[in-house]
Amino acid sequence: MSEGLQWLLANGNILDWADYYYHIRKWHVMPKKNGEKHTYLQYVKKDNKAEERYDWEFLEREFKENSHLIDGIILKTGFVKDANSITALDYDPRNDPNKVGEKIINSILEIQKDILVTESGGAGIHILCEYDSELKNGLIKGTGIEIKNNALLVLPPSGHKSGTNYRFRRNYVS
């Protein structure tokens, strides 16, 4: 692990993490305000198809000027022009009464050792994968798994309504 990433894990604030996600991961991120995953920023569309990332100067200003309101970072999943596009699986065990989703998630994690996994401040986990245009947003009935392919996902170290923070479970190294 690089010295810079070690420092970030030990000392990084929300702006430092946003900078990492934007510049190192090349993700389309935006601030999360007051515990909500709403988009107070307007998406910029081109060709009515591709989302474009905001420029860093705009995002940095938003994070700094509204720092008293910002408690996290949101990732825009799905295709984003000029960015590393992401498809995510959002697993919530509270919606998996028969543990079917748990078996699916555990199988994915066993097979894909290098996949990026985060934990929500609650009981859920997020699996972040390379973008796949054939996957659509939606719940997989009875599994507690939601495919996020044109949706918003909260990233570490954002705050969660439970009072804890989102965190990396494994593979945070770029």
- What's the mean pLDDT when you consider all of the chain? 86
Per the confidence metrics, is the pTM higher than 0.75? yes
Strand order in the sheet with 145-148: 138-140, 145-148, 86-91, 125-130, 116-119, 167-170
Tens digit of each residue's pLDDT (9 = 90 or more) over 95-121:
999 999 999 999 999 998 888 999 988
Q: Count how many Cα atoms sit within 13 Å of the Cα of residue 103 in the half-sphere of its side chain.
A: 6
> What is the C-alpha to C-alpha distance for residues 164 and 173, in angstroms, rounded to an integer?
22
Please report the pLDDT score of residue 83 as a whole number.
Answer: 87
Tens digit of each residue's pLDDT (9 = 90 or more) over 114-154:
889 999 888 899 999 999 999 999 999 999 999 999 888 99
CA angle 146, 148, 152 (to 5 degrees): 120
Please report the pLDDT score of residue 38 as a whole number.
Answer: 62
Pairing of strands 80-81, 50-52: parallel
Please report the pLDDT score of residue 49 as a whole number.
Answer: 47
Say which residue, 76 or 81, is predicted with more confidence: 76
Tens digit of each residue's pLDDT (9 = 90 or more) over 58-80:
899 989 998 998 999 999 999 88
